[in-house]
Structure 1
Amino acid sequence: MIDQPTSPGCPPTGDDKSTAVSWRSWLIVAAVATGLSILFWAPLYQGGGLIGGDIYTYFFPQKAFLADQLAAGELPLWNNRVGHGYPLVGESQTGLFYPFHLLYAVLDVNTAYNAVQLLHYILAFLFTWRYVRQLGPGDTAGVLAAIVYVYGWFPPRICLEWAILGGTWLPLALWMAEQFLTDRRRRDLAILAVTLALQLLAGHFHLAFITQLVLAAYVPGRLWLARQGLPETSVASRFRLLTATALTLVLAFGLAAVQLVPTWELKQASQRDNVSGRKYDPGYGHLPFAYWTQVVAPWKWYDAGFDHVSQIDAGPADTNQIEAHLYFGLPTIGLLLVAGLAWLRQRRIDSRLMLWCGLGALALAYTPAWHLPITRHLPGFGFFTGPGRYSIVTTLSVAVLAAAAWQWLTTRSLLIRRGGIALLVSASFFPLLTWDLWDVSRKQTYAVFMQRSLIDRVDASPVTARLRSISEQPVRLFCDYQNLPTLLGVASTPVYLGLGPAEYFDESLAMPEPLPFERTATPEQIDWLQRAGVTHILSRHPLDTAAWPVKLIERTFDPAFLQVAYHGGDVPLEFHLYELLGSRGRLAWLAPAKSTDTDRQPAVLPRTARLTSYTANRITARVESAAGGRLVLTDLVYPGWKVSIDGKPAETIRVDGMYRGVDVTAGGHDLVWTYAPSSIRIGAVISLVSLVLFVTLSLVRRGRFGLVCDQS
């Protein structure tokens, strides 16, 4: 890779000659990107896995459910394993419509999960390099920027799947925006629309929101403040270019509407509808002021296995070392200091670098929680936790500045005349930076490598075998490892959901706390479990059968799965699987109301209720009764679920504040519950219309549009 020369104190101007990239460069950088991904994530290439953080409490349970349903030939719109169910599309992080997740239909879950992560690391590297090349610096400088951005910000967050999935698209969006402002080609707008739509389809949305904010500042900043490198024709038509970019963002929302509309529906019925509730704090995951020093003093903060940031006064909200991580590498800081002093002496700095300084500084200023009294009430800002995530913009800013600094340094006349010095600098700088970031990625994380992934051990678990042998009704398990038991093919409570139905977070509906995992349950808690349809309990301690209405059905150490899941297999644990007696189960008749007259109690008439099929989007049952009554399905009431009796629509009655009830007359009846939410249909129609509009605008003759004209 050969860097293009540049003028002192700034990168090249961004003309076609300096920003053109050959296929040879693409192949070389792709090889570098792949090599670095192997260096950082070799165990994943070897078929291993990760455990820690949210990996097995959130992401693998979702992806395993998706893979199971796709293998069964069903496109799941509802997840019936977590708690009493939740809208899979609305929650968003399963990413049902994200194209990369098609891998879960053809690969095993662990291989697909690893492949998706690794592909995004490679793509993020390539996109960052290419965006920096669009600004003018050469290939080597672009590689430096990609290293700082990709391996400075993402590896500690490997336990957060959404980080790399969302962060991959930020540099691509900037590349397309920059290229459009320079060349004014409709093709670039089309790719930008697809990029932003893909980022939204990946789910979670926070990094997509940050990307949109960056574009909202970057595009007008380039057109009005940092015009260096833009042709005069672009500057003269800047209002039209800004309008075209804004309309592209609107089109991206339309393309992703099939994901966004269901999420908006869930948001209205979620714990985030009231951001002041105790179960949701938008300040969680901020970056305290004191923790900013990690950038220049990593030895003070980074210690494997110890979270230093949680030991300091973090301010008005909690945080952790992953959400608050910000590091660029000490060699990067040294490079910026050297170049910065030289630039100050020359008093000549590229306006684009000043723009990035401003963006990075604004993002950094947002990372503490001081702004919450205002921003928690603003659209978008109050929806997400993790102010520390805005540091992704700061990291990209530093990456761009580092690329410009490298370009300036390596094109000094002394280094050009003495090529050996430049080679020596490169040969020492890049390995040192890579080692520094690799070392920090191992110290500053919750994730641990496993030679054999946890999900590949599920079938070897005796608890799995026992639960799968239960055929009377679907199992709902009470367990202290949130969501993990869903990997065994059963439903599990309590739940862990970042965006979930409000019923799970309503204190009047949830199990009374503290939860009875290491204590005897109260009568109120046992009553809640029975009414909630919990059929089994998995405990790490033997239960007192005098206080618990349970029957022991399995006692095991489960060294293959549960031992590893809880403590990595280092601490021997005994697991006890109980059947909970007196539970409603998944489907039950409600007892008739008792009369106050003891001589006139209602007669107990024979009646039965059994599920005949139970899938993600459809449930069928056969019921028999002599007098009829109210039937309850202990799954969550949610818009889109409809019930019919013998093919005729029936009214859903909310039972105990959250379950699906229906009144049934005497006799035998067939009941069918189906999930066909209007939000997905509306979103799909909007996406289809947007796709037609997108294709039309892409194929129509350019001369018909005065908004954007190609430069001939």
Structure 2
Amino acid sequence: MNEEQTVVRRFRRVSLVSLLSAMSQLGTLVVVAIALLYPAPFHQNQLPAIRIGSDLLMSHWPTALLIQRTFAQEHQLPLWNPYFGGGQPLSADPLATLFYPPTHLVHFLSLRDYYLVLILGHLVFAGLGMLLLARRALGLSPLPALVAAVSYMATPRLIGHLGAGHVTIVQTVAWFPWLALACWATVREPRRWSAQFGVCIALMLLAGHPQMAYYGLLMTAGLSAWLLLKRWRLEGWRAALLSLAGLAAAAGIGVLLAAVYLLPLMELTVRSTRQLSLSSVDTYPLQHFLYELIDQQPAPHFLWEGAPHYPWEGILTPGLTVLALALLALAVRWRQVWPLLLAIVIVAALAMGNSSPFYLLVAKVLPDFDRFRGLARIWFVALMLFALLAGLGTDALLQGMRRIRSRGTVAASFLLVLIVALSLVMTDGGHAHVGEVRPDTTPSLLARSAAQLAGSGRIYAVQGNFPQVNAVQLRTPLANGQDPLLIESYASYMQRAGGYTASGYQLIIPAYDNSQVQPHAMLLGLMHVSVVISQRPLTDPLLMRVGEVDGTLIYKNIADAGTAYLVLPGPDRNPPSLDQVRRLNADVRAITLKPEQETFTFSTGTAGYFVIAMPAFPGWNAVLDGHSAPVQLMAGVLPSIKVGPGTHTLSYTYAPPSVRLGTLLSTVGLLAVLGWLIAGYFWKPGKSRRSRKDDGPHMESISSADPPTCAVAAGEGSKRDSAR
């Protein structure tokens, strides 16, 4: 009995020590994240990424406000965003991340607090994933693993992108260590971990940045191939095939779970300006690339042709302290870490873009690999590897100190963590662009004046000086828009209506402004633009100047056709071309005007087309007098419904089949995950031969060393843990 009590007391003591250790590590990550965002966590009105052109203010804030307001007032999620770009599917917008679970914290917090929690949480989450990856896959002891975690979550490039407002990049990159960890676990025990790996894949896809998700999947594919090769060498082809089946199942589950977002995204992408010819011209010569590894400041964009145009795109350094620890790991543990160096070299060759022959070769093989902006963003994968090397370097350094003098090693470990954290926080200083939120999220006098004059109509800002966030706040739709996936037919129409020309990929409406650009009032009116604002005089006589606010002229468009109108058919009895438009003098009355449903009643004495002033998009359905009606296009963009003489009622509703099908597939994926987990809980197969031998960390999964060497290394790691 006394022996049993002794065992219980020892178990409780060990459990308590483990819990305290875990809590202290998590607390360290939280403190580092707070330091990176300082002073925002301590001021009610501050956030990172408060700067001119910030994606957080320009795109993320307005879509979050729309989601928050719509759910609070109508108890449903918004699928359509009517407020910029003429109207766009919110369910497909990567910047909205409508189906990413953390997005829905917005229902419980103010927008400022929501973004602070979201950003802080993802930084800690990234560090926690790296901590577990280093502990489990590399067998590192807690403090070296903590160095790896801090090195990744505070890497300067990540904070630089955060300062630019790239919230979805931060969200997606935070999943990289978890992907690697889940991939490693699935190869070892596919029956146990495949479902969880699939969930990680899905959440990375839902996090909202397609480019970084693409790179994350590439990383996962490369890691899977390496681990499968190692498993085949160690345990034979049967074990490798079982692992391959587990990886394939995880990929299927991930795609199914994310289908509710992926299907609408694909539907929008093929109809967006993104589908136009786009080929990246980014280039990073080797000498500049190597210099940026140690330079704490990004290179100016004018140093060479094809250089990054934005400072955050040119940040390559992992931090000098991290780099020094990584070099130490390479020097001391070459046999163990050479695969990590090889992976870094491969990623570097891809990040150098068009100056690298390897990139040019890969771009011809991988689909759409050369159609991304900011090719150096793939360097995030290498920064994760640098963090792992820093953890290994720390472990090697502590082992060397322990051989010389065992006392003081723990203090030295804490000191190393502190040095790495402080050096990265100092390097990242200013990258986060912390600032006051209220001045940039409060509608200006110009915005309020123009919105009041516009009524239900759209506003067109010639210089784009009407913020999208103000449009959502004031419930005033814009003809302008800035988004990576603008509807191509609408962007083309607005070129003609705005009096400018642009070619290739366009993510801003209007694309530019100069003294030669003169908007066309009648064409703007067909898209229900009732107010035009400009910082210079406009010449169209149908634009009537009504005021001036803060140096910006306000024009009333007397050619505004309204929310919907009737036109005569063209010579071929189809909707007329823009040069042939003849409007019918008919009374059109709006019964319902909601973002996803518009209902009208009207009378006409002659046959014609009922035109709705918004860009057409799949999922919008017309019901005329209780019967489904086909929708044709006027000018390739305006939805037009053929009507005969008489009085009619028409309802135009957004109910996208892509979202319904995606929801069904995601439900199937969720049921598959639940079934997998339940089956795993009740069915406990015997452990594999390898698992019976060693339940500890398996360093051979990333190492090229022979199995005996790896087993010894793993054993040493276990002994260190026991000693602590």
TM class by shorter chain equals 0.7 to 0.9
Hey, what does 2:381 align to over in structure 1? 393
Please state if 1:148 is matched with 2:135: no
Partner AA of 1:147 in structure 2: V
Per-residue CA deviations over 1:478-515 (Å, capped at 9, x if unaligned) read 35147454333222233222123222454896544266
Hey, what does 2:604 align to over in structure 1? 625
| Corresponding residue pairs, total | 644
Give the counterpart of 2:638 among 659, 667, 678. 659
Please state if 1:203 is matched with 2:194: no
Pair 1:508–1:468, CA change in 2 (3 A): closer
Pair 1:226–1:297, CA change in 2 (3 A): farther
Hey, what does 1:98 align to over in structure 2? 100
Partner AA of 1:281 in structure 2: S
Distance, in Å, in 2 between the alignment partners of 1:233 and 1:225 is 8
Checking the alignment, whether the CA contact within 8 Å between 1:287 and 1:324 is kept in structure 2 is no
Checking the alignment, whether the CA contact within 8 Å between 2:460 and 2:533 is kept in structure 1 is yes
Q: Which runs of 5+ in 2 are unaligned?
A: 1-13, 502-509, 572-579, 693-724
Per-residue CA deviations over 1:501-549 (Å, capped at 9, x if unaligned) read 2224548965442668453643x6444323332211233x2525x5453
Q: 1:38-187 maps to which residues of 2 (within 5 A)?
A: 38-45=34-41, 46-47=43-44, 48-49=46-47, 50-52=49-51, 53-73=54-74, 74-134=76-136, 135-152=138-155, 153-158=157-162, 159-182=165-188, 184=189, 186-187=191-192
Please state if 1:212 is matched with 2:220: no
Pair 1:414–1:639, CA change in 2 (3 A): closer
Q: 1:437-452 maps to which residues of 2 (within 5 A)?
A: 437-443=424-430, 445=431, 448-452=433-437
Pair 1:147–1:226, CA change in 2 (3 A): farther
Distance, in Å, in 2 between the alignment partners of 1:22 and 1:235 is 38
Distance, in Å, in 2 between the alignment partners of 1:676 and 1:690 is 22
Hey, what does 1:583 align to over in structure 2? 560
Partner AA of 1:501 in structure 2: I
When structure 1 is superposed on structure 2, of 464-473 and 332-341 the one drifting more is 464-473
Q: 1:487-526 maps to which residues of 2 (within 5 A)?
A: 487=472, 488-506=474-492, 510=496, 511-513=498-500, 517-519=513-515, 521-522=517-518, 525-526=520-521
SS of the residue corresponding to residue 198 of structure 1 reads: helix
Partner AA of 1:368 in structure 2: M
Checking the alignment, whether the CA contact within 8 Å between 2:521 and 2:540 is kept in structure 1 is no
Checking the alignment, whether the CA contact within 8 Å between 2:124 and 2:153 is kept in structure 1 is no
Q: 1:218-237 maps to which residues of 2 (within 5 A)?
A: 218-225=223-230, 237=239
Checking the alignment, whether the CA contact within 8 Å between 1:86 and 1:501 is kept in structure 2 is yes
Per-residue CA deviations over 1:553-579 (Å, capped at 9, x if unaligned) read 45334xxxxxxxxxxxxxxxx333332
Hey, what does 1:555 align to over in structure 2? 548
Hey, what does 1:529 align to over in structure 2? 524
Q: 1:271-290 maps to which residues of 2 (within 5 A)?
A: 271-274=273-276, 277=277, 280-283=278-281, 287-290=284-287
Pair 1:638–1:619, CA change in 2 (3 A): same
Distance, in Å, in 2 between the alignment partners of 1:309 and 1:128 is 31
SS of the residue corresponding to residue 613 of structure 2 reads: strand
Distance, in Å, in 1 between the alignment partners of 2:50 and 2:332 is 46
The structure where helix makes up a greater share of residues is: 2
Distance, in Å, in 1 between the alignment partners of 2:300 and 2:250 is 40
Give the counterpart of 1:433 among 407, 413, 420. 420
SS of the residue corresponding to residue 618 of structure 2 reads: coil
Please state if 1:341 is matched with 2:331: yes
SS of the residue corresponding to residue 146 of structure 2 reads: helix
Checking the alignment, whether the CA contact within 8 Å between 2:521 and 2:559 is kept in structure 1 is no
Distance, in Å, in 2 between the alignment partners of 1:617 and 1:87 is 10
Pair 1:67–1:289, CA change in 2 (3 A): farther
Pair 1:674–1:416, CA change in 2 (3 A): farther
Checking the alignment, whether the CA contact within 8 Å between 2:623 and 2:652 is kept in structure 1 is yes
Hey, what does 1:363 align to over in structure 2? 347
Distance, in Å, in 2 between the alignment partners of 1:709 and 1:470 is 73
The TM-score with structure 1 as length reference comes to: 0.82
User: RMSD across aligned C-alpha pairs, in angstroms?
Assistant: 3.5
Checking the alignment, whether the CA contact within 8 Å between 2:327 and 2:393 is kept in structure 1 is no
Checking the alignment, whether the CA contact within 8 Å between 2:493 and 2:637 is kept in structure 1 is no
SS of the residue corresponding to residue 221 of structure 2 reads: helix
Pair 1:60–1:604, CA change in 2 (3 A): closer
**Offset, 1:388:** 0.9
Hey, what does 1:245 align to over in structure 2? 247
Partner AA of 1:340 in structure 2: L
When structure 1 is superposed on structure 2, of 98-107 and 628-637 the one drifting more is 628-637
Partner AA of 2:80 in structure 1: W
Checking the alignment, whether the CA contact within 8 Å between 2:325 and 2:391 is kept in structure 1 is no
Q: 1:682-697 maps to which residues of 2 (within 5 A)?
A: 682-697=661-676
**Offset, 1:174:** 1.5
**Offset, 1:117:** 1.4
Q: Percent of aligned pairs with the same residue?
A: 20
Pair 1:357–1:529, CA change in 2 (3 A): same
The TM-score with structure 2 as length reference comes to: 0.80
Pair 1:21–1:405, CA change in 2 (3 A): farther
Per-residue CA deviations over 1:394-422 (Å, capped at 9, x if unaligned) read 10111111100100111115566153477
SS of the residue corresponding to residue 93 of structure 1 reads: coil
Distance, in Å, in 2 between the alignment partners of 1:72 and 1:707 is 53
Distance, in Å, in 2 between the alignment partners of 1:373 and 1:672 is 52
Distance, in Å, in 2 between the alignment partners of 1:222 and 1:625 is 70
Per-residue CA deviations over 1:442-462 (Å, capped at 9, x if unaligned) read 45x4x632233345423xx33
Partner AA of 1:146 in structure 2: A
**Offset, 1:685:** 1.6
Per-residue CA deviations over 1:578-608 (Å, capped at 9, x if unaligned) read 32221223322336779xxxxxx99997511
Distance, in Å, in 1 between the alignment partners of 2:114 and 2:454 is 30
**Offset, 1:261:** 1.2
